[in-house]
Structure 1
Amino acid sequence: MARARKIHFNSLLLVLDSIDADIYAADLDTYEILYMNRHMGESFGGDFTGQVCYRVFRKEQSPCPHCTNARLLDEEGKPAGVLVWEGRNPVTGRWYKNSDRAIPWEGGRYVRLQIATDITGLKEAEARLQHLATHDPLTLLPHRQLFDDRLKHALELARRGQSRVTLLFLDLDGFKAVNDRHGHQAGDELLRGVAERLKSAVRDSDTVARLAGDEFAVILEKTQDPGTARAVAVRVLQELRRPFLLPGAELAVTASIGIACFPEQARTPQELLRLADEAMYRAKGCGKDTFVECGG
């Protein structure tokens, strides 16, 4: 009988070691690691049986805030079922779907068994889909919906902090001629280049968005004075004047920029965008390749 149990136990270990998931058992009271399968040893770089789980697997000095131990047994001290949760492990840097349950162990006690499946690829795919849902696929800039959300949020923060938000509305000069002369592929490459130069001309905390076609917008938060926005506009114009070296062509493009400011000139996101748009058209009327401030 003992030999049969040993064979059964060894067979069970082989099964657990063949599973493509991290599996371990830990004491509910002491957090001592009682068992870990081969896959988990490879994930964490060794067999840590006998050590404390939260120190090994999470690099914590005390039990993890999300530890499920207290919820694995019911009021009668019996297994309460399976708890499933997701989390990112700070040691491996990967995402896991965890299934925790209490199982019987030697000595008549229950221990926690966790089966953790790596779902990092799924999380990354979800993040890519979320990014595509809010960003322009050509330039990878925020699209109109995300721009509207960020502008609204920026104004809400500015109201609470009594700060200034400046909006730059930008339209490329003569972009249609680029498409007509060099084709839409060249036009797309040019738009990508414009997006990169716009981002390089502002702070990381500012938002550069593609609103439509060859229209872009820049949200400048916490601008100290009108001179800050003017300096950004000048920098943007200078960046765009440099030739764009594309496969088989060297293209030049300029832009007309309209500037409007909250709260001095507008009180709502819609009004701020409208005023910046109107200022941009005045810049077009002034000969293009320039900027015009609202009221200027």
Structure 2
Amino acid sequence: MRHQFPFSAIVGQDQMKLAMVLTAIDPGIGGVLVFGDRGTGKSTAVRALAALLPRISKLEGSATNAATPAEMPDWADPVSGNMIDVPTPVVDLPLGTTEDRLVGALDIERALSRGEKAFEPGLLAKANRGYLYIDEVNLLEDHLVDLLLDVAQSGENVIEREGLSIRHDARFVLVGSGNPEEGELRPQLLDRFGLSVEVRSPNDIEERVEVIRRRAAFDTNPDAFVEKWSVEDTKIRDAILAARHALKTVDAPDDTLRDCAGLCVAIGSDGLRGELTLLRAARALAAYKGSESVTRDHLRAVASMALSHRLRRDPLDDAGSSTRVDRTVEEVFA
């Protein structure tokens, strides 16, 4: 059995890890965008989190990870009806992916000659109820970006060819990573990510040594290493599950709503998606910390990841986006 590097064993990168935990608690937050240096654990973190999460129950043979017969699309082959537990899916979207590979391929000839909906599911079907991971998301082709925008908005993949229509559920947490020096992300897709974090290679020598030490230990004896960190991973898993149950009961007072609106007005965020994402992330954090209501401390902790990618550019301010958000938070809350 191939092991994943334990989530709790990842050194540093606290903002990235917290953002992924929050989307695991509330997938409605809208995914995570991770920009920064190569080799900073971006892909390791998303796979480690998915391995940490509880296994999902699905109908055996379901290509879309359907949990009930009602969720099975009409084009799918019959399944046995048996329920099986599988790991939370993590699907990679390579840069060279074709449209048919992403959304699925429809056999037009078979459909017209036999009247059958012959459909080969794509990556979106496999990612349903899991994670869709896009490395170098800023280099993704525009037509694939447009497709992702439609699916991310609706939670459903729809393919229409020659008068035939195929559809299936496609609800997933979108995780994108990339290096901003290699190209910018289209504003439409950037806005679809609920949270955004910047990661950098550690400058502290001891921290870098610890990264090397843990990775070497994992590569040498993965069984022993995973066992060593299993207790910490279990604590995180239990906290995520508890937060999911508590999420609906977390109170968001009117003062908190005013704080959210005030922050977004102060940074010049367009639309209302900033306020809504900030509130959802703060509520998820409050549930994760066992709090009964959202406080300013929760807003402070998530403000930069929820709002930094929604900032308007200021040519007179060369501070990083996270720094600008943190500065605005302190000004507004003061």
Q: Same fold (TM over 0.5)?
A: no
How high is the TM-score relative to the length of structure 2? 0.24
Give the greater-gyration-radius structure (CA).
1
Which structure has more strand as a fraction of its residues?
1
Which structure has more helix as a fraction of its residues?
2
How high is the TM-score relative to the length of structure 1? 0.26
